[in-house]
C-alpha cells in the first residue's frame, strides 16, 4: 500500500488539535509534533498489558515528576475520551516504539497491528505545555529558537520502584540566564501535571550527566557562559525504565512524536 503524500509543517501548524490528529491518522505527518496545534496539550504515551499496567500505575504515583499521569484508558480500549474527541491512540501519533523484553523491535507510524484486548494506555504530561507558557512570558527556549529537538539526558537520579518498574530518570534541559531560570521555576511550578518545577539546576555532573554536549535523545543546544543549564523531569523516563525493567511487551511514543489532545495548556495551570 502506497503512503499518502506528507504535508509540510506550514500546512499543519494552523490546524486545530483534532485536525492535526486527523492528518497524523491519515499519515500525512510522521515527524516531531513540537509547535503543532499551539496552545493544546501534547502527551507522552505508554501502553502495557493489564498486569504490568497496574504496576506501572503505581510507578506513576510514586514518580509524579517524570510521570505525571493525565489519563488512562480502559483495558483494551484505544480511546482517551477525557483528553479529546475520537482519539485513537493506535493511529493518532506520528511514530511509536514497540518494545519486547526491553528491546525496541519496531518503530512504526501506526500500532493497529500490535493492538490487543488486554492493553492499557497511559497519557503522561509533556513539557511542551509549560514551554508554551515560558515563551508567553518572554523566556527564550533554546531548542525552539534553534528549531531542533529538546536535548534529553539519562541521569543518576533514581526513580521510586513499583513492582518490576525501576530505573534512572530522564531529564530535559533548557539553558537560561539566572534571572530567567528563577522566573522559569516560578512559571513551571504552576504546571505540576506536566513535570512542574525543575529537578536540577547548574552542574550537570551532580546528576550524572558526563557530557552536556552529548544528549541521549534529541539534539544538543548551545549554552552561554552566563547561562545555567536547567533540568526538568521528562516523560521519556518510562522508555528508559522499560529498557531497564524489561516487561515482555510495551509500546511508547517515539521521543518528541507526541499525541496532540483537545485539552488546553492553560487547563493544567494550578494557579
Kindly list the residues in this chain that would bind a second copy in the complex (CB under 8 A): 178-179, 181-183, 185-186, 189, 197-203, 206, 226, 228, 271
CB of 183 to a second copy, least distance (A): 8
Work out how close the CB of 186 gets to a second copy at its nearest, in angstroms, rounded to a whole number: 5
Neighbours of 222 (CB within 10 A): 11
Report the distance separating Cα 180 and Cα 157, nearest Å. 25
For the CB of residue 249, give the shortest distance to a second copy in the complex, in Å. 35
**Of 72, 85, 51, nearest in space to 249 by CA:** 51
Give min distance, CB of 167 to a second copy, in A: 19
State the cell numbers at 69. 499521569
Whether residue 265 contacts residue 127, with contact meaning beta carbons closer than 8 Å, is answered with no
Nearer to a second copy, 105 or 178 (CB): 178
- Judged by beta carbon, residue 38 or residue 202, the one nearer a second copy is 202
Q: Measured from the CB atom, is 199 or 234 closer to a second copy?
A: 199
Of 60 and 197, which CB lies nearer to a second copy in the complex structure?
197
- Adjacent-strand bridge partners of 125: 43
Q: How far is the CB of 226 from a second copy (least distance, A)?
A: 6
Q: Number of helices (H) and strands (E), helices first, in the chain?
A: 7, 11
User: Cα–Cα–Cα angle for 189, 153, 178, nearest 5°?
Assistant: 45
**Dihedral of CA 190/193/198/199: which sign?**
positive
Min. distance of Cβ 88 from a second copy in angstroms?
A: 38
Please tell me the distance from the alpha carbon of residue 45 to that of residue 34, in angstroms, as a whole number.
Answer: 15
Cβ closer to a second copy: 78 or 229? 229
The nearer residue to a second copy, 104 or 185, going by C-beta atoms, is 185
Amino acid at each position: 500500500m502506497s503512503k499518502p503524500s506528507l504535508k509540510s509543517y506550514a500546512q499543519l501548524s494552523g490546524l486545530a488539535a483534532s485536525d492535526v490528529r486527523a492528518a497524523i491518522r491519515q499519515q500525512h505527518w510522521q515527524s516531531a509534533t513540537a509547535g503543532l496545534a499551539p496552545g493544546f496539550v501534547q502527551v507522552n504515551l505508554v501502553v502495557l498489558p493489564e498486569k504490568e499496567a497496574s504496576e506501572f500505575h503505581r510507578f506513576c504515583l510514586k514518580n509524579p515528576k517524570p510521570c505525571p499521569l493525565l489519563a488512562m484508558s480502559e483495558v483494551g480500549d484505544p480511546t482517551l475520551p477525557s483528553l479529546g474527541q475520537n482519539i485513537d491512540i493506535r493511529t493518532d501519533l506520528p511514530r511509536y516504539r514497540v518494545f519486547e523484553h526491553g528491546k525496541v523491535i519496531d518503530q512504526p507510524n501506526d500500532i493497529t497491528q500490535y493492538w490487543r484486548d488486554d492493553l492499557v494506555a497511559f497519557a503522561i504530561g509533556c513539557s511542551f505545555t509549560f514551554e508554551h507558557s515560558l515563551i508567553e512570558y518572554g523566556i527564550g527556549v533554546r531548542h525552539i529558537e534553534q528549531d531542533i529537538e529538546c536535548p534529553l539526558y539519562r541521569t543518576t537520579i533514581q526513580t521510586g520502584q513499583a513492582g518490576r518498574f525501576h530505573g534512572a530518570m530522564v531529564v530535559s534541559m533548557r539553558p537560561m540566564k539566572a534571572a530567567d531560570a528563577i522566573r522559569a521555576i516560578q512559571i513551571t511550578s504552576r504546571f505540576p501535571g506536566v513535570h512542574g518545577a525543575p529537578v536540577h539546576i547548574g552542574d550537570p555532573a551532580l546528576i550524572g550527566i558526563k557530557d552536556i554536549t552529548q544528549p541521549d535523545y534529541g539534539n544538543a543546544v548551545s549554552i552561554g557562559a552566563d547561562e545555567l543549564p536547567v533540568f526538568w523531569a521528562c516523560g521519556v523516563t518510562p522508555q528508559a525504565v522499560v529498557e531497564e525493567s524489561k516487561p515482555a511487551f510495551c509500546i511508547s511514543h517515539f521521543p518528541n512524536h507526541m499525541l496532540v489532545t483537545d485539552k488546553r495548556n492553560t487547563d493544567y495551570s494550578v494557579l
